Homo-oligomer: A and B are copies of this chain.
Amino acid sequence: MDPIRLIEIKEEILSDNNQLAEELREKLRKSGTLLLNLMSSPGSGKTSLILRTAEGLKNYLHLGVIEADIDSTVDAEKVAAQGVPAVQLRTGGFCHLDSSMVAKGLTALNTDKLDVIIVENVGNLVCPAEFDTGAHKNIMILSVPEGDDKPLKYPLMFSVCDVLLVNKTDYLSMSDFNREDLRRRVLALNPQIKIIEISCKTGEGITEWLDWLKNALADFKAKR
């Protein structure tokens, strides 16, 4: 297991973020590496999902992870402990990732050997939705304890994502979370989004998520 690489990010947001994002996307398309941008509130289960994904796909594809955190390396340590190549971006005060930060993470990973790279964005439902990271697909997690009203309050996040993972379904029995209200609110914002209910704790729904990811990778490689 490699030691965690730590990259300090201090530069101002690049004005040419969108252009760099397109360049990253195209470069990774050519090399056959699917880049996923994973976003959620703090504590919704991003790292747990990555660990479940690494475990479920370890005999199927080569996964790499770029972790973003304001001031710690705990997530990258957990991921690297599973034998998955991981880079930690320490964002200082930044509340989101942009494409220049992701580019630094990609440089630190050896992307040639990787089929899929998951970028764990900063835990935040607001700012990360506004910045193109260069990912091919945006994935978000909403956890049951956060409530079914979040699409009303953070509409951009739900609008820019390809997949919504509704995590912590093991809390449904003791919550007033209404799955149909959530589904209706999300689909009103984004009719194309794929919604999958999961529990990283019990494993419920993880197979459906892994199947989505395998299919997305097959489509991606077929279109090269």
Contacts and interface: CB of A to CB of B under 8 A. Distances in A.
Interface string A158-177: 00000000001011001000
A93 B156 contact: yes
Contacts of A74: 149, 152-153
A197 to B, nearest CB: 16
Given A93-B156, A170-B174, A174-B170, A70 B146 contact: no
A73 to B, nearest CB: 9
Contacts of A149: 74
> What is the count of identical protomers in the complex?
2
A41 interface: yes
27 contacts: A41-B43, A41-B123, A42-B125, A42-B150, A43-B145, A43-B146, A43-B147, A44-B146, A70-B126, A70-B153, A71-B152, A71-B153, A72-B152, A74-B149, A74-B153, A93-B130, A95-B95, A95-B124, A95-B126, A95-B127, A122-B126, A123-B154, A124-B124, A126-B127, A143-B145, A145-B145, A170-B174
A145 B123 CA distance: 14
A177 B149 CA distance: 25
A69 B123 CA distance: 18
Contact of A174 (B70, B71, B130, B174): B174
Interface in A105-164: 122-127, 130, 143, 145-147, 149-150, 152-156
Contact of A42 (B93, B95, B154): B154
A150 to B, nearest CB: 6
A72 to B, nearest CB: 5
A70 B154 contact: yes
Nearest to A71: B155
